[in-house]
Structure 1
Amino acid sequence: MSIHFPRRAGPLAALPLLLALGACAFAPDSRPPAVTQPAQYGVEPAPPAGAAAQGVAQRFEPGAQPVPQWWKRYRSAALDAMVEEGLANSPDLAAAERNLAGAREQLRGQVNSSLLPSVDAGASATRNRALTMPNLAQPTALYNVFTGQIQATYDLDLFGAARYANASLAAQVDQQAFQLESARRSLAGNIVTGAITSAWLAERVALTEKQVVLLRQVARDTQRRYELGSASQNDALDADQDAATLEASLPGLRAQWHATRHALAVLMGRNPDQAPPDLAFGALAVPEQVPVVVPSTLLASRPDIQVAEAVVQAAAADVGLATAQLFPSLSLSASMGKGGFAWGDALSGAGSIWAIGASLTQPIFHGGALRAERNAAKERYEASILQYKQTVLTAFKDVADTLSRLEADGQALASAEASRQAAEQSYRNTASRVRLGALAPYTEFASEQHYVAARLRELEYANARLTETAALFQAMGSPASAPEVAARQP
């Protein structure tokens, strides 16, 4: 393509067009590269529904949108209140919001200063001694100077340096906004997971204590049978060892429960001693419908991917800024005011002073620093592209792993439920036979202990399904809109 200019116009007529063409080529594409999207998240397609366990078979909804307040699907008013309190009172979240507000103010100031001229007022009063020559019979000249003036300066953004600087800072503000959204969702997820885990640990402590009581009763009965000659000494020792081993695990289990409650209180903005009461684990409803967004929607809904995209935008703008700094910069200035050797002279019409000017600066030699900075900006841009791709791949893997674990948890829970039901029926049968005198009393304690152990395994997988469901909701991202900023990428 060739460009022709009128001969009479001269080369200056081409300057606006050349500036526009040059500015367009200064920065690379700020849009992140296209990433190959998987046909399905994992090596195997997600089933339409999970295994039926405890009366619920979770349904996976392909193509559904992310759920903003997903914790409400657990249908627990107490859990909703915990999340709302945490979102309202978390110091970390409040600090992030203040930092974001400060970053937006900084961006607004930078944009306004680049678009508008700066105006300053100044005044000075000095007393001076004039230069005198030696050996001359003249008095020393002392005089005063009074000045007051208004100065205005304006930098013309010929090659887009200020525009690229604004775009880079705007993208950095975007990063903070998306990080705040990510922190908000992480806080909600941690509160939900902490509340579920604390309720599970409370049940686990209670059942383990019961299990210890049963094992101690079995050990006493075995000791009596050993004394009567119907059991061996090894049987009595083994029973004592089983009871003591399980009892030794109780202090650590209680400490884990208390630590979980303390952490939950801090997440909610409370002191550890003000931890909320535990939820009733059995009252927590498993969300029956779980969204599985398509990969293209995931790119726009995950805050970590949005942060990586904003990093690409900032890096692209930095390349444009570093390139623009290789070209001339033009600054205009003007001033007007009053001046004189006395206040009366300064305020008179004869004391008026003014100036107007322009300065053009073209970098010539900086020891290669400017080109090195441009090359460094280009390398950072290429690195941000690769980091964006890695973030997307990690997000796909996160969803795939969570789906796989949730499906496995459903299957394991179904098996554990069947095992618990069998152990419960066996315990009931044994208790009936003990009451009829067909079995010795100690067999009832042993059977009940096996039933409690099966109940503990079922609780473990029920907790895993509840918490993995929360993790899947988190992995789907948020439908929140992009943050508002004062400037965008050119």
Structure 2
Amino acid sequence: MTRTSFAVAVACVFAAACSFGPNGNPPAMPEPAHYGADPQPVQTVPAQGVTQQFVVGAKAVPQWWRTFESDQLNALVDEGLRNSPTLDAADKSLKAAREQLRAQIGSNMLPTIDAGGQAARQRALAIPEIGPNTFLYNTFVGQLQAQYTFDIFGAARLADAALASRVNVQAYQFDAARRALAANIVAAAISAAMLDAQVQTTERLVALANEQARDTQRRYDLGAVSHSDLLNAQQSAASLAASLPPARQQLLTTRHALAVLLGRTPDEAPPALDLASLHVPEQVPVSVPSDLLKARPDIQAADATLKAAAADVGVATAQMFPSLTLSASMGQGGFSWPVALSGAGAIWSIGASITQPIFHGGALFAQRRAAVASYEAATSQYKQTVLAAFQNVADTLAALEHDAQSLDAANVAARAAQRSFEETAARYRLGAVPVTASRASEQQYRNARLDEIRFTGARLNDTAALFQAMGNPPPEALASPVVQ
């Protein structure tokens, strides 16, 4: 066979190996004109003086939490990314997976060479034809052994490709965990700030209700109001007071959760941020669907899982074909050290073995069918992951639009109630209205303020959720696949 013919034969073998399974490319997915059931707006309605613009086609922001313009929030996220035990465990697991990949590639693609030595004293049975005595003798052997299995049909190479893709899955999952940790810290910090503002406002409402109850008690003692009026005032004050402990408990629970996210013990929970110190970003990126598929780590992990499943099909197919192994050894041996170390003690061997599976009870075919079914399942899972990502973006876009509408209405109501309270308080100071009117006006304002605080927190949290939904390219290079 000429060199050209041999090269053509080798190329055909490797081409056949590459065609043993699917190529692992993700299935084509529809690219919707817009994410939600309704076309997405260009911007939200103005709320609290801020109109958020949806910048279609913009790239995802890597450190999106910095767009809230809060140094305290930035410090919390940086601390959490630096100190989280969960993130550190995921990082160490990823490093272990990468080392296992290096070990497998080295074992599959390169020959193995081992050195061995043996010294033994042995007793052999007697041979009647020679004599009745048994034989005592020593043996000394030292040798190098080498072995290499030719990956003719690509079983080892495809197995390495499958493991490399699974390492990539872990890498994308680590990136997803890192982004989720940042998002959870931001959400917890916003929730703590919102709850703290609500607790302070509720405390003032409780104080006003208690003042009203005491004032009603004095008026009842003077006979100016009925006993029913007194009971109603006391009931209102007690109901408000009963709502305060659960609110405080929720605030403490949120602060404790934030402390654990930061890698702290709950007793070192950071104080709640001032809600007014968190600024809503005016521009929010909205990636086009094709960019979203490349930016979200959950989709990338599903893609890597698909590639691993495709390589598994190739491995299961290649295992049905012959394997060729070469082995060789050389060394010294003898019945005494002088003989073992002399030229007469040289020993060596060389050999080749070929194995072709013939009958395994249908196991090889069943394994291939299982690999094909797993690949098909991975394909469906990829499609579902993409659809879930589109839904995630659609939901957060709709939530932001509705948050702005609710916040705008709550803000208008709160400002109107505040102006009414300020005017009533001014009239009270002039003696034009009783203190009860001023107190009732303030209660109305504080209740309106509670709604505004709740919608402010919802808008901040949903803005963070949209940034998170846009994804981000992995910060580090992932393990390089063995085959494409």
Could you tell me the TM-score, scaled by structure 1's length?
0.95
Q: 1:324 Cα deviation (Å)?
A: 0.6
5 Å-filtered alignment, 1:241-280, equals: 241-280=235-274
1:175 partner letter: V
Does residue 318 (structure 1) correspond to residue 312 (structure 2)? The answer is yes
After superposition, give the CA deviation of every residue in 1:149-201 in whole Å (9 maximum; x if it has no partner).
Answer: 00000010010001101000000110111011101111111111111111111
Equivalence for 1:3: none
Q: Distance in 2 between matches of 1:321 and 1:137?
A: 59
State which drifts further: 436-445 or 347-356. Answer: 436-445
SS at structure 2 position matched to 1:80: helix
Q: 1:486 Cα deviation (Å)?
A: 4.3
Q: Distance in 1 between matches of 2:338 and 2:90?
A: 56
Cα pair 1:68 1:480 within 8 Å, conserved: no
Equivalence for 2:89: 95
Cα pair 2:24 2:310 within 8 Å, conserved: yes
Does residue 59 (structure 1) correspond to residue 59 (structure 2)? The answer is no
- Count of aligned pairs: 483
Equivalence for 2:445: 451
Does residue 128 (structure 1) correspond to residue 122 (structure 2)? The answer is yes
Q: Distance in 1 between matches of 2:150 and 2:168?
A: 27
Q: Distance in 1 between matches of 2:223 and 2:76?
A: 58
Q: 1:226 Cα deviation (Å)?
A: 4.0
Q: Distance in 2 between matches of 1:105 and 1:128?
A: 43
Equivalence for 1:80: 74
Does residue 141 (structure 1) correspond to residue 135 (structure 2)? The answer is yes
Equivalence for 2:369: 375
Does residue 403 (structure 1) correspond to residue 401 (structure 2)? The answer is no
1:55 partner letter: G
Does residue 464 (structure 1) correspond to residue 458 (structure 2)? The answer is yes
Equivalence for 1:221: 215
Q: Distance in 2 between matches of 1:482 and 1:42?
A: 32
5 Å-filtered alignment, 1:345-384, equals: 345-384=339-378
1:411 partner letter: Q
Q: Distance in 2 between matches of 1:17 and 1:69?
A: 47
Q: 1:13 Cα deviation (Å)?
A: 9.1
Q: 1:14 to 1:199 in 2, by over 3 A?
A: closer
Q: Distance in 1 between matches of 2:8 and 2:447?
A: 85
2:179 pairs, out of 172, 185, 196, with 185
Cα pair 1:313 1:489 within 8 Å, conserved: no
Equivalence for 2:412: 418
Q: Distance in 1 between matches of 2:213 and 2:107?
A: 82
Does residue 167 (structure 1) correspond to residue 161 (structure 2)? The answer is yes
Q: 1:17 Cα deviation (Å)?
A: 4.9
Q: 1:378 Cα deviation (Å)?
A: 0.4
After superposition, give the CA deviation of every residue in 1:97-119 in whole Å (9 maximum; x if it has no partner).
Answer: 11111111111121122221100
Does residue 390 (structure 1) correspond to residue 380 (structure 2)? The answer is no
Q: Distance in 2 between matches of 1:481 and 1:282?
A: 32
Q: Distance in 1 between matches of 2:60 and 2:97?
A: 28
SS at structure 2 position matched to 1:277: coil
SS at structure 1 position matched to 2:325: strand
Cα pair 1:160 1:324 within 8 Å, conserved: yes
After superposition, give the CA deviation of every residue in 1:318-372 in whole Å (9 maximum; x if it has no partner).
Answer: 0001111111111111100001011111001000000001110111111111111
Equivalence for 1:307: 301
Q: 1:75 Cα deviation (Å)?
A: 0.7
Q: 1:44 Cα deviation (Å)?
A: 0.9
2:112 pairs, out of 110, 118, 126, with 118
Q: 1:148 Cα deviation (Å)?
A: 0.4
Q: 1:436 to 1:100 in 2, by over 3 A?
A: same
Q: Distance in 2 between matches of 1:60 and 1:480?
A: 24
Percent identity between matched residues is 55
Equivalence for 1:50: 44
SS at structure 1 position matched to 2:373: helix
Q: Distance in 1 between matches of 2:215 and 2:483?
A: 79
2:276 pairs, out of 267, 272, 282, with 282
Q: 1:376 Cα deviation (Å)?
A: 0.4
Q: Which runs of 5+ in 1 are unaligned?
A: 1-5
2:197 partner letter: E
Q: 1:434 Cα deviation (Å)?
A: 2.2
Cα pair 2:148 2:326 within 8 Å, conserved: yes
Q: Distance in 2 between matches of 1:242 and 1:488?
A: 71
1:333 pairs, out of 324, 327, 339, with 327
Q: Distance in 2 between matches of 1:319 and 1:145?
A: 49
Q: 1:14 Cα deviation (Å)?
A: 7.6
After superposition, give the CA deviation of every residue in 1:198-235 in whole Å (9 maximum; x if it has no partner).
Answer: 11111111111110010111222233444445444333
1:473 pairs, out of 434, 443, 467, with 467
SS at structure 2 position matched to 1:34: coil
Cα pair 1:300 1:306 within 8 Å, conserved: yes
SS at structure 2 position matched to 1:127: strand
After superposition, give the CA deviation of every residue in 1:377-401 in whole Å (9 maximum; x if it has no partner).
Answer: 1000000000000000000000000
SS at structure 2 position matched to 1:265: helix
Cα pair 2:324 2:353 within 8 Å, conserved: yes
Cα pair 1:65 1:479 within 8 Å, conserved: no
After superposition, give the CA deviation of every residue in 1:207-264 in whole Å (9 maximum; x if it has no partner).
Answer: 1111001011122223344444544433322222121111111111111111111111
Does residue 106 (structure 1) correspond to residue 90 (structure 2)? The answer is no
Q: 1:13 to 1:90 in 2, by over 3 A?
A: closer
Q: Distance in 2 between matches of 1:73 and 1:322?
A: 50
Cα pair 1:104 1:485 within 8 Å, conserved: yes
Cα pair 1:108 1:486 within 8 Å, conserved: no
Q: Distance in 1 between matches of 2:345 and 2:398?
A: 84
SS at structure 2 position matched to 1:337: strand
Equivalence for 2:193: 199
